[in-house]
Copies of this chain bind each other. A is one copy, B any other.
Amino acid sequence: MAEHPPLRPSPLALTVLFMLLGEPLHPYEMQRRIKLWGKDQVVNVAQRANLYKTIDRLHQAGLIAVRQTERDQRFPERTVYELTEAGLRVSREWLVEMLATPRNEFPRFPAALSFMMTLGPEEAREVLERRAAALRETLDDLQRVLSGADGPLPPRITLIETEYVRAMTQAELDWLCSVIDELRSGALSWSQAELAEAAHQFLG
């Protein structure tokens, strides 16, 4: 038995494992299904290089195995993978861990927010309004998907992550609107002088 290097969980790795639960697949088919089911909104499968690297790591780690190598003359050679015993076990562990344990992934927006004070209140408002507009658009898309406007809806549990994304997007938009209002009304405001003063207090 070969040595299997350890592997840390990632959204894409989890997804590959679960894709193979039902039947063996080749990489492109995994990607196709991920898109078909709309899961490409929650796992980044757009840059396929990452998919291939992830599959490779899973293979090295012994969580998936090569089932066969197909050769259809129209296409390049395709390697079909299947889930191993270890892969089945690990996929469950990862799933529970990722669901139960929140982890700070340091998204870029809050980091940027923490320096918004270097803009003036006016410019800040203008910039946040652009963000709000973009969020309204994604929210519309989500709404359309969830309301079944694009064809009959599958069982609700299969769209639960979309419901989550919608809820979070709506929450961010609400927050943005409230801040924008306060910027407009002047309830939230600052000056560089005031901030320099405060910085002094903190640093001595």
Contact = CB atoms under 8 A, between A and B. Distances in A.
Interface of A: 9-12, 14-15, 18, 21-22, 33, 36-37, 39, 41-44, 94-96, 98-119, 124, 127-128, 130-131, 134-135, 138, 154-158, 160-161, 163-165, 167-168, 170-172, 174-175, 179, 188, 190, 194-195, 198-199, 201-203
A113 B9 contact: no
A175 B163 CA distance: 9
**Interface secondary structure of A, over-half rule:** helix
Contacts of A44: 104, 106
Contacts of A119: 95-96
Given A154-B198, A188-B157, A109 B113 contact: no
B108 A158 contact: no
Given A18-B115, A115-B95, A118-B95, A161 B127 contact: no
B102 A190 contact: no
